[in-house]
Amino acid sequence: MKLKRFMFIIVPLIVFFMIGLFALPAQIFADESEGVFDGLYLIDGGEANLKKVDISISVNNKDTSRINASYEIENTGKETIYLYMGIPLSNLKITDVTYRFTPYVYNSTIVAGEKINHLIDGMALDYSNWRTYGFEIPLRAGETKTASISYTVENYYSADGRLGFNVDLEHIKSWNSEPESITLTASFNPRSVKIYNFDNQYQVPPTEMTPEYSLVWNVEKAGDYQDISFNYYPVDDKIKDELKKIKSTRVDAFLREYEKRDYSKAIEAGKQYIQNSQASEAHNLVYLLMADAYVQQKEYSQVLTVYELIESTETNFGELHKRVENKMLINKITAFENLKKYEEMYDLIIYEKSDPDLNHYLGQWLDESMDRIPESTLEKIMEERKPPTALEMFVRRFLEGNFTVIFIAGAVIISLIVFLIYYIRRKKKKNLFF
């Protein structure tokens, strides 16, 4: 089974890799050209001292995210300074924009890039458009206030089902000083977040990955790198999107019942589609959601049966293949646990824990799942799975007859040695007698 699974993964990957050399872009991380937030620049403002930066990205769904950024600014001089600030705009659409400077809300203005880019000293910028505060804002000597910007942005959603997020930290250089702290937090809708949606590699690793599924970066020196990027894969949304492309009333009925969470009707609708259509990759997409429905119905044996059907085919889920496997893994372990098939559960956890590409949250979940196996059962399984000692291996192989020839040869050698010792001693006695 493991060998079959290994070949099932490796062969399609090799094929896709060869095709990708000619047809697919060599892109792994978030699209750097489409930042969800490219930073608040100090366009003009004298000796403004930037003390603290907090940036948060709240991923609402596959379509939009909410950006909130705050910049704590101090005037350490002896005279009032006037701050002119703004953010560069990418091609991603933004709505519900709010500009604040404590304690007031300010109007914002869209300005052509050619009027702003050259105003920022020491930086070669080429943005097409900016959105700036409506006018210069006074900051009196000794005052500390906060500039904050919030808006909803459309997500960069690739054809392979990947959400790419990029935050540019290069803008910190437009300020007169590096802040004491920069914190970037990415959070996800708690109603839809799944641990198999997370990536397993980051250009800049998060400082913390919280139990609430938030990624946190604490940046000490902005000059260390230019941006922070990460990917997120809304697997279930992509599966539904692909099914919606199929012109089938039965698939539509299946998705409708699934979205309504009427899982028994969804299962029946899924069966109707499978039974009345030719085998295709769409069948496996339906099976994936049917397995989820069976989990909700607590029909765990059916979950395992559905996955056997999927694994009996050679379907590859492309960029999402690893995430789909992780989705199936979670449901399998859930099924084994509820069916009290603890040996299968244990073996699967141990096998998956050896995967070097395991994402952080999935690794934690596997550890927690192992802890849920009853202690006495776990001890028994571990004892049975414990590698035998060298002596035990020798005895086992001997009893299996693997050492018959060696044993006979050894017996002959020992007999010869005994005979030689006996012969030499007897000869010495004769010599002594004469």
Average pLDDT, rounded, for the chain: 85
When pLDDT is averaged across residues 333-346 and rounded to a whole number, the result is 97
Q: Give the range with max mean pLDDT: 45-54, 67-76, 171-180.
A: 67-76
Comparing 73 with 176, which gets the higher pLDDT?
73
- The answer to whether residue 416 scores a pLDDT higher than 60 is yes
Of 125-129, 385-389, 403-407, the poorest mean pLDDT is in 403-407
Q: Which helix (DSSP H) or strand (DSSP E) does residue 53 occupy?
A: strand 48-59
DSSP 251-304: HHHHHHHHHTT-HHHHHHHHHHHHHTS---HHHHHHHHHHHHHHHHTT-HHHHH
The CA distance from 268 to 271, in Å, is 5
When pLDDT is averaged across residues 113-118 and rounded to a whole number, the result is 95
Sequence letter at residue 307:
Y
Q: What is the pLDDT of residue 6?
A: 39
Of 189-198, 219-228, 310-319, 336-345, the poorest mean pLDDT is in 219-228
When pLDDT is averaged across residues 146-160 and rounded to a whole number, the result is 93
Confidence of residue 418 (pLDDT cuts 50, 70, 90): confident
Q: What is the pLDDT of residues 225-249, one digit of tens each?
A: 568 999 999 999 999 999 999 989 9
Q: What is the pLDDT of residue 407?
A: 59
- The answer to whether residue 307 scores a pLDDT higher than 90 is yes
Residue pair 161/233 in contact (Cβ under 8 Å)? The answer is yes
Q: From residue 50, give the alpha-carbon distance in Å to each of 8, 79, 170, 189, 215.
A: 54, 17, 14, 31, 24
Q: From residue 3, give the alpha-carbon distance in Å to each of 26, 159, 237, 327, 330.
A: 29, 31, 31, 20, 20
Any bridge partners for residue 154, and if so which?
Answer: 64
When pLDDT is averaged across residues 377-392 and rounded to a whole number, the result is 80
What is the per-residue burial (b if ≥16 Cβ within 10 Å, else e) of 4-20? Answer: eeeebeeebeeeeeeee
Q: What is the pLDDT of residue 399?
A: 60
Matching residue, tokens 């930066």: 53
Percent over 70 (pLDDT), the chain: 82
Copy the structure tokens of residue 230. 């990460």
